[in-house]
């Protein structure tokens, strides 16, 4: 996901993700992005003669959201995708910062 200023200058993701999290908009932006990404992936899969896989990245707040699992299941279902067709890239920093908290041991089972 990329954001542009009025002059078409691209705002680095680190800047707008921080602002979106501060404003409480990251969850909505994340779900919208997930919807678009999985829909686009399903279309690409139909056109590609070879098996392909999609890797998703999430912010710390998205990974901590109880709604993520539900949203992933829903968007996979409506796009007739199987969970084995995606992978989730979780950065080491997430586990380092979450060490000792309950969220560090929570996993997504779709």
Q: Which two tokens stand for residue 66?
A: 């109880």
Please list the pLDDT of the chain residue by residue as tens digits (110 residues): 677 888 988 888 778 778 888 888 888 888 999 999 999 999 999 999 899 999 998 877 788 888 998 999 999 999 999 999 999 988 766 666 655 555 444 555 65
CA-CA distances (angstroms) from residue 84 to 21, 57, 60? 29, 16, 23
CA distance 92 to 69: 20
Q: Which domains does the chain have, with CATH numbers?
A: 3-105 (3.20.20.450)
What is the value of pTM for the model shown?
0.73
């Amino acid at each position: 996901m990329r954001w542009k200023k009025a002059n078409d200058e691209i705002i680095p993701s680190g800047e707008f993700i921080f602002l979106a999290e501060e404003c409480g908009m990251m969850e909505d932006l994340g779900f919208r992005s997930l919807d678009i990404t999985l829909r686009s992936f399903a279309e690409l899969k139909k056109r590609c003669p070879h098996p392909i896989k999609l890797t998703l990245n999430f912010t710390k707040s998205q990974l901590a959201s109880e709604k993520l699992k539900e949203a992933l299941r829903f968007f996979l279902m409506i796009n007739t995708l199987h969970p084995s067709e995606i992978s989730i890239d979780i950065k080491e920093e997430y586990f380092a910062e979450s060490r000792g908290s309950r969220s560090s041991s929570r996993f997504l089972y779709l």
